[in-house]
Amino acid sequence: MTKNIKYYPRISKNPFHFDHVHIRWDQQVPLHQQETWELSYIITGSGARIIGNVLENFNKGEVILIPPNIPHCWSFEQNNHDDQGKIENITIVMDDHFLKKAKELFPELSTIVAEVLNNHNAVSFSGPILERLQNLMKAMITESEIERIGSFFRVLELISHAKDMHVVGRPIQENKKEKKLQEIHLYVLGNYQQVITLDEIAKAVGMQRSSFCVFFKKMTGKSFFTHLTEFRVEASCQMLLKTSLSVAEICLVSGFNDVPYYNRVFRKIKKTTPVAYRLSMKKTDLAELKSMIY
């Protein structure tokens, strides 16, 4: 599995690096890890991501803090982009040594930095803190290097005060089971839109079919196809909300080859139909927009 992960050592002498990218959906960095902290904000785009041992779908607006040495990647949907056909995100890379040094040099930062360093899992934010992080990180796009330093410490302060955090990834333990599970997640991420058989997935990760089934059920508590179906449904939800594709088109793009079957499993998991889900969520978004205006 390690051959699939790109390792990025510290290559900059700056205490932090601000990176704002506006690129094609398929130009994102592949699965990688580095020795620094990473704070990522998805401005435009949706899809699926792997962080440590967790594979989940994501949507625009999320801000995630990733501690050092946790493998991660974002895989963006081809059909969800801006009017230029591109996705957009911001990444702040923070040097671990700098954070610890700042804690020593500035007593005012001691508690703030300690709270940030106390995060061992990758976490996402919600509520008022999320909105403030989004606004602050967006403002940094047009700031000078000096201004970004001040904003950087305000970002740290917000993170240290965050209460509404959700674990979205955990460190990969140095054992073969965790690495094998991540290898399976990576295969699903790259192939869920196509037909996946047990023989294919087992062969791809170097296991016998029977051993693979037992292993996956033991590691996740569910069968591989239950996991795959749930993942495909979640991926289709993103497309229902963020694209104008028809239900039949979304059915095919998300890996289902039969529309009636897709409708049945969608209703079973979401307790509603794809069409009703799309309409209800759009009404919810419209209501939230009106509340912000008025």
Domain ranges of the chain: 2-169, 176-283
Residue 56 makes CB contacts below 8 A (sequence gap 6+) with 48, 49, 168, 234
Fold exhibited by the domain 176-283: Arc Repressor Mutant, subunit A (1.10.10)
Give the CA diameter of the chain. 63
Predicted local distance difference test score (pLDDT) of residue 5: 46
Q: Is 198 left (phi over 0), alpha (psi -120 to 50) or beta?
A: alpha
The alpha carbon torsion through 194, 199, 201, 207 (nearest 10 deg) reads: -170
pLDDT tens-place string over residues 186-196 = 899 989 999 99
For every one of its 294 residues, what pLDDT tens digit does the chain have, with 9 covering 90 and above?
Answer: 444 444 444 445 566 789 999 998 888 888 888 889 999 999 999 999 999 989 999 999 999 999 999 999 999 988 888 888 899 999 999 888 888 888 888 888 889 999 999 999 999 999 999 999 999 999 999 999 999 989 999 999 999 999 889 999 998 776 788 889 989 998 999 899 999 999 999 999 999 999 999 999 999 999 999 999 999 999 999 889 888 899 999 999 999 999 999 999 999 999 999 999 999 887 665 454 444 444
Give me the pLDDT at residue 13, please: 58
Q: Which tokens hold the place of 195? A: 């037909």
pLDDT of residue 26: 82
Q: Which CATH superfamily is domain 2-169 in?
A: Regulatory protein AraC (2.60.120.280)
The predicted pLDDT at position 140 comes to 96
Domains 2-169 and 176-283 share a fold: no
Q: CA-to-CA distance for 61 and 133, rounded, in angstroms?
A: 10
